[in-house]
Amino acid sequence: MTDRPPTALADPAKEGTAAAVPAAGPKAPVAWPPSTRPLAAGARNAANSAAAGSAGGYGGAAARQAGPQPVNNFSDMLPPVRYAPPGAAPPAGQAAAPATQGAAARSPAGPLLVAASIAALIGISVVLPIAGTVAALIVLMALRAAGQTAESLTRRHSRRGARASDPVLSALVFPLACAWSVVRTVLLAPAALVAAVVAAAITIIAVPHHPLPLAVAYGAGVLVAFYGIGPGSGSSRQPLRKFFDWVADTPGRATVAFIAVAAVVITFVVIANSHPPFFWPSGNLIRWLQHFQVMRDARGHLLRLIGRQGG
């Protein structure tokens, strides 16, 4: 075979119908957004780089020439995130908002209103040692039962969420909680009665003439105070605190609520200082107690017990 001479390429400048070939050269890099930038060639983890280097060949040589490659953590494919340094305070608009909402839900006058309510129950038990004491104890037992019912519903909501059967469940749980509250009251009765007897004894010693009515009244007040602020009484005060947090959620409402409760307390104090106790519905309780020789000579016995001469 004979060699053919190479055919000359057509000159685009000489041929009018031929399109001009673009000049070869480096192209401008494409501007990728930071969050959509493609993976760079050769960006692999350290383990792949070592494997490529030990395998030899073109890939191994390229890896050895390029040196250690950065670990592929896909940071170039994810949007930028800025993390706070350890121990730094959270931004004011994020974590501080729930704390502010939780603090706003608690009334600053709540403890004072709860204490005034317990004082009102004590006052009614001093003015009405029989009916008032029974009513105050019933209120405290009902508050404890309501708090236990609310706690059981809260635990149920945390596990299963709110359901339509919650009112029915509350109606079933509340009587059981009332029964348990009565049991707790009976179990605490010995300590409460000891406190009441001590208060009555101090009254008998301090009042020289006819101390028995006042001794019974003050003993009843201490009995109610034991169940209201004594050991195990926190479950009775907690529903009161939640109620006042809901009612007295603003300074104006808290002021009105405190004035109302304080007016009730002052009324009972004035009645207790200006009138003898009302032993309703049994007006003959004091006469019945005076039939006992021990009760008639109670002041003399107590004075001799503390080393003083009875008058």
> Does pLDDT of 138 surpass 90?
yes
Lowest mean pLDDT among 18-27, 274-283, 289-298: 18-27
Q: What is the mean pLDDT of residues 15-44?
A: 54
C-alpha torsion 168→169→170→172, nearest 10: 90
The residues, any chain, with a CB within 8 Å of residue 233's CB and separated by 6 or more, are 140, 226, 227
Give the Cα separation of 178 and 189 in Å (integer).
16
Q: Cis check for the bond before 12: say yes or no (omega within 30 of 0).
A: no
Tokens of 54: 């030990």
Q: How confident is the model at residue 70 (pLDDT cuts 50, 70, 90)?
A: low
Mean confidence (pLDDT) of the chain: 75
Q: How confident is the model at residue 97 (pLDDT cuts 50, 70, 90)?
A: very low
> Does pLDDT of 99 surpass 50?
no
> Does pLDDT of 308 surpass 70?
no
| 1 belongs to a structural domain | no
The residues, any chain, with a CB within 8 Å of residue 69's CB and separated by 6 or more, are 42, 43, 44, 45, 46, 48, 49, 63
Q: What is the reported pLDDT for 163? A: 74
Domain interval for residue 295: 107-305
Q: What is the reported pLDDT for 95? A: 46
User: Which amino acid is present at 74?
Assistant: F
| 73 belongs to a structural domain | no
Q: How confident is the model at residue 154 (pLDDT cuts 50, 70, 90)?
A: confident
**87/83: higher pLDDT:** 83
Closest C-alpha among 167, 141, 142, 144 to residue 156: 167
> Does pLDDT of 217 surpass 50?
yes
> Does pLDDT of 151 surpass 80?
yes
Burial 36-62 (b: 16+ CB within 10 A, else e): eeeeeeeebeeeebeebbeeeeeebee
DSSP 208-249: -SS-HHHHHHHHHHHHHHHHHHSTT-HHHHHHHHHHHHHHS-
Tokens of 136: 């105050």
Lowest mean pLDDT among 97-106, 204-213, 218-227, 262-271: 97-106
Lowest mean pLDDT among 81-95, 263-277, 290-304: 81-95
User: Which amino acid is present at 285?
Assistant: L
Q: What is the mean pLDDT of residues 131-136?
A: 95
Q: What is the reported pLDDT for 156? A: 78
Q: What is the reported pLDDT for 118? A: 95
| 10 belongs to a structural domain | no
| 167 belongs to a structural domain | yes
Q: What is the reported pLDDT for 275? A: 87
118, exposed or middle or buried, with CB in 10 Å at 0-12, 13-18, 19+? buried
Closest C-alpha among 277, 289, 27 to residue 131: 277
Q: What is the mean pLDDT of residues 111-130?
A: 93
Q: What is the reported pLDDT for 307? A: 66
- Per DSSP, the three-state class of 91 is coil
Find out whether 169 and 136 touch, Cβ atoms under 8 Å.
no
| 4 belongs to a structural domain | no
> Does pLDDT of 243 surpass 80?
yes
| 69 belongs to a structural domain | no
Number of domains the chain contains: 1
- Per DSSP, the three-state class of 32 is coil
